[in-house]
Chain A
C-alpha cells in the first residue's frame, strides 16, 4: 500500500501538461527518490481518467478500458509516494471521486490506509474562459465566442460545452466533489501566477507542492503554450464549420489540431490575444472573488497566493473573434494552406514509396496464388481415382511423420 498518494485533479489550462511531461520523462529519477509516477505511456493517466469517469473522447476511450484499475493497482502496490495527475479528473462526479480515493487506498480510520492528498492547480477565470473556448474550437466546435459566453452565464448550464466548462473550472464545486472527508491540510491549491510573472514561478510551486525539490528532474520538456490569437482561432472555427462533416475525428486530430492549430497557427506572432469582452469582465471578477473567499474560508493549504485568482483590469483594446479583421484571417489562412501543402508533399512522397512496396508484394502474392491454384488443380485430378486418393493419403501420412 502506498504510504502517500498525491492526486492532482486539475484544472485544465494551468500548466498541467508541462508538469505531466516532466514527471513522465523523469520516472527513473523519481523512482530512485522513492516516488512513483505509474505510466507506461505518456497519456496513461489521461486514459485512466477516461476509464474512471466513463468518458467518451473521440474514440480514444476504447484504449482506456481497464486503465484506471491498472493504475490504482500499481499505486496500491507501491510503498513510497505515488503521483497521479490529470486535469480532466476535475470533472469527476462525487461518486467517481469517492471511488477513486478508495481505489487509491484512502480508508478513513484504517491505520493501513494510504495518506491521500488532493492537489488542484487553479488560474483566474478571466484567463480561463477564453482559453477554454479556444480549446473547444480546437476540438471541432463551431460555437461562436458570443454564444459560448452566453451559455457559460446561463445558470441552467444547458449545453454540453457549458456543463463541461463548469465541471472542469468551478473551483469550489470541484473541491466539494473531491475533498469528501479529507482534512483541509491534505487539500492543496496551487495558484498560477498572474501574467508577466517569472516563468519559473509556477514550476517552483508545483515542485514544492509535489515534494519534488532536490530531485534531479528532466525539465527540458516543451513548455510552449500552444495558444491561438484572435484571427487564428476564428480561422480554425471557420475550418470546423466547413470540414466537420467531411473530416473524421481521427484525421482531424493530426491535421487540424496538431498541424494547423498547434504547429502552425500557434507559432504566429503579433495577432491580438483572445480575452474576455469588457462587458463580461465584471462578471468574471465577481465570480472569482466569491470563489477565493470560499476557498480561504475552508482553510486549505495554498501554494502561491489566493490573490492570483483575482483577475487584472479589463483590456484597453479588445478584438472580437466572431468579427475578426479579415486581412488578419487571410494572412493566417495563407500560412495554414502553406503548411497543408508542405504536409501534402510529404504525404505524396510517402504514398509513392508505399505504392512501390504494394506493387512488389502484389506481384509476389499473385505468383504464390497461381502456384497454389495449380497445386489444388493437380490434387483434384489425383483424387478423382481411387489409386490417386490412396496415394494422397500416403503422402499426407509421410508429411505428418516428417
Chain B
C-alpha cells in the first residue's frame, strides 16, 4: 500500500469517528477497512455532515453509523461525474478522471449525492417501494355536491389532498369548477414549486425556468386562471350529456382564499404551506432521484407528504421572481386582469388581487435558491436537525445570513476543527 493510500484510509477512519479535518490538512494513516476506498464525493459529504451536526447539535455529536455507511456506499445518481479518486492517492495514469481535492468539489455534486440518500429516506418513510399512492375517496350517491378544483397547481393539489385525507370528495359532475388564482408572481412560483414537488425527473432550475417565460412569451397553464377556465369549460362541455347545460357561470374564479370553504361546502381549510426557496430547490433535486426509484404518482405523494412535512415552515425567504422580471410580471398580471374581466366568469374576490405591482414585488421576503443554503438544508435533513434552529425563526433572515457566512468561512479555511 502506498503512503497516499494509507493516508486516505486514515482520513476515512477519522471521518467515521466524526472528524471534520479536510483532506489537504489530514496527515494520519491507517490500514484498509474495506475492499475499495469510497470516492471523493462520499468522503467530503461525510465530512460536511460531521461539520453540520457539530454546528447544530454540539461538538460531541456525530452521525449514526448506519447513515455513515450509507453515505460511503451510495453512488451519485444520474449522469455526471462518477466517484472521483482523492488527489495524492492515485497517480495520474493517463485515463479516467483526474483525482480531486474534495474540498474543491462543487456544491451541486454533494447535493446530488445527498439527494440520493434523502430519496432513500423518503421511500423508507413512505413504506417502501411497493406502496401505492393514496386514491381519492369513493363516490357516495347522496354526498354533497362539491365542485372540482383547479388553477394554481400547488395550492389546488394541496387543497385536494387535505380534503381527500378527510374523506371529502371533490369533483361532482354537476357541481362545476373552481379555479384558484392569485397574483401572477405567486402563481409562477407556485407552478414551479408544484413541478419541484412532483416526483418527476429532469426539471430545469428556477432561474432558467422563470427567465425563459418572457423570452418565449408564455405563461404556465397553472398561472393563467382565465385560460385554464376556458380550456376546462370547453372540455366539460364536450362530455356526453353536457352540451348546453354548462356555461361560463359553472366555472368560478376564486382570488380570495377566505371564500373557499363556503364554495367547497367545508367548515375550514388548512393554510398553505410555507416552504423556503432552498427547500424548493432541494425538492427538485430529490424529485429527480425519486423519479428513478418509484413510479411518478408514488413519488409525487412522497414529495407532497413526508418531504413537505419536513420542510414546511423552515426559516428562510420564500421563492421569488428575479428583480429583472418584475416589470414583465406587472405587465402580464394587468393583462390577465383585463382578460379575466372580458371572459365573463364569476370572480370571487377583488380582481385587483391578480395584479402584482412593482412595489409589492420589491417588498416581498423572497429570493432565488442559494447553493450554500441548499447543501446545508440537505445535510440537516440527513441528520434530522433541520428544525434545530427553529427558535431563531423571528430573525430567520439573519440566521440564514449567519449560516451562509459560517459555510463560507468553512470553505475558505477548509473547516478544520
Contact = CB atoms under 8 A, between A and B. Distances in A.
A66 interface: yes
Interface in B172-214: 201-202
Given A95-B74, A160-B79, A291 B95 contact: yes
B75 A93 contact: yes
| B interface: dominant SS | loop
B292 A163 contact: no
B240 A366 contact: yes
B142 to A, nearest CB: 10
B240 A365 contact: yes
Nearest to A69: B129
B295 A167 contact: no
Interface string B61-94: 0000000000001111111111100000000011
Contacts of B95: 170, 172-173, 290-291, 294
Contact of B129 (A65, A170, A180, A370): A65
Residue of B82, B129, B201, B296 with most partner-chain A CB within 10 A:
B82
Interface residues of B, number: 35
A53 B95 CA distance: 22
B289 interface: yes
Interface in A42-57: 50-51, 53-56
B241 interface: yes
Contact of A54 (B82, B202, B241, B292): B292
Interface string A143-175: 000000000000111001001101100101100
B96 interface: yes
Contacts of B240: 362, 365-366, 368-369
| A interface: dominant SS | helix
Interface residues of A, number: 43
A181 B116 CA distance: 27
Contacts of A157: 81, 97
B36 A56 contact: no
Residue of A59, A93, A164, A176 with most partner-chain B CB within 10 A:
A93
Contacts of A173: 95-96
Contacts of A181: 35
Contact of B202 (A56, A96, A294): A56
A61 B292 contact: yes
A167 B129 CA distance: 29
B315 interface: no
Interface string A290-326: 1100100000000000000000000000000000000
Contacts of B82: 91, 93-94, 167, 177
A366 B292 contact: no
A337 B291 CA distance: 36
A400 interface: no
Interface of A: 50-51, 53-56, 59, 61-62, 64-66, 91, 93-96, 98, 155-157, 160, 163-164, 166-167, 170, 172-173, 176-177, 180-181, 290-291, 294, 362, 365-366, 368-370, 373
6 contacts: A54-B77, A65-B129, A65-B292, A95-B74, A163-B81, A366-B241
